[in-house]
């Protein structure tokens, strides 16, 4: 049996928060694969169905984020599951908006929902981390996380949720690489940042070249046997010493 956990906070006031993207993904999977309607059990909303031929329970803890492990641990013990049977979908500040990472085990990155699940279930469960981006300063983290997705976010949010739902069976089969590849193919264009227009490349300026002197020096003229050298004066005496007096 597989347990898919979407993390979030209960209540309509939190429904569109970035922190609730785990709930959103869980709902999308349940709809796409015709799971049962959600009912209440384990202090959570749960829906039953199958993924890749395996019985699967989707669970949305109603304990509020910081106590998510209370609910997940109860379901885990009831069904006698191991951490390896659990997939948790949650928001991730340190990943760019709309990007995904999938891993088993590891740290909680300060995520209170994961801290709670670690305490009740151990750490060796799979985490599907959905990037929501970092606001840039720690003082803005709470308003960002507990704020609704912006209008600009809608360009990537729904296509990403659809792609997660469409390819959820690959996670159930343990094909993590295949799942991430399918997501990239499905959302790559929608998630690609706009490239700034480039100005046409300018031809490099040619280095300035020194102008050639209009005439040759007196010494060069003397070597070439040219007559345009002074007949008298200091320069004439110097030339005579260099080349000999041919008079």
Instruction: Give catalytic residue positions.
Output: 19
Side by side, which strands form the sheet with 39-41?
Answer: 39-41, 44-51, 54-61, 2-6, 86-92, 126-131, 100-104
Closest CA to 180 of 192, 168, 189: 168
- How far is residue 222's CA from residue 238's CA, in Å, rounded to a whole number? 11
Secondary structure element (H or E) that encloses residue 103, with its range: strand 100-104
Query: Cβ distance 215 to 232 under 8 Å?
Result: no
Q: How far is CA 177 from CA 6, 66, 100, 170, 174, in A?
A: 21, 30, 12, 9, 9
């Amino acid at each position: 049996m597989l347990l898919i956990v979407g993390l979030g906070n209960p209540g309509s006031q939190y429904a569109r928060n970035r922190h609730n993207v785990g709930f959103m993904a869980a709902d999308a999977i349940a709809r796409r694969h015709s799971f049962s309607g959600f009912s209440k059990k384990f202090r959570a909303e749960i829906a039953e169905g199958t993924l890749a031929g395996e019985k699967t329970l989707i669970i949305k803890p109603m304990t509020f984020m910081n106590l998510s492990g209370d609910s997940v641990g109860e379901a885990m013990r009831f069904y006698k599951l191991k951490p390896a049977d659990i997939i948790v979908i949650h928001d991730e500040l340190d990943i760019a908006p709309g990007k995904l990472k999938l891993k088993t085990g590891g740290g909680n990155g300060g995520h209170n929902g994961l801290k709670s699940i670690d305490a009740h279930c151990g750490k060796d469960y799979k985490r599907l981390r959905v990037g929501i981006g970092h606001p840039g300063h720690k003082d803005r983290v709470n308003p960002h996380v507990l704020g609704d997705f912006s209008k600009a976010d809608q360009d990537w949010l729904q296509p990403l949720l659809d792609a997660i739902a469409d390819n959820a069976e690959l996670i159930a089969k343990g094909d993590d690489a295949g799942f991430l590849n399918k997501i990239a193919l499905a959302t790559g264009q929608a998630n690609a940042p706009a490239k700034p227009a480039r100005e046409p490349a300018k031809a490099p300026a040619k280095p300035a070249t020194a102008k050639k002197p209009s005439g040759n020096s007196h010494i060069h003229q003397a070597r070439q046997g040219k007559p345009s050298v002074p007949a008298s004066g200091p320069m004439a005496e110097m030339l005579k010493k260099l080349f000999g007096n041919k008079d």
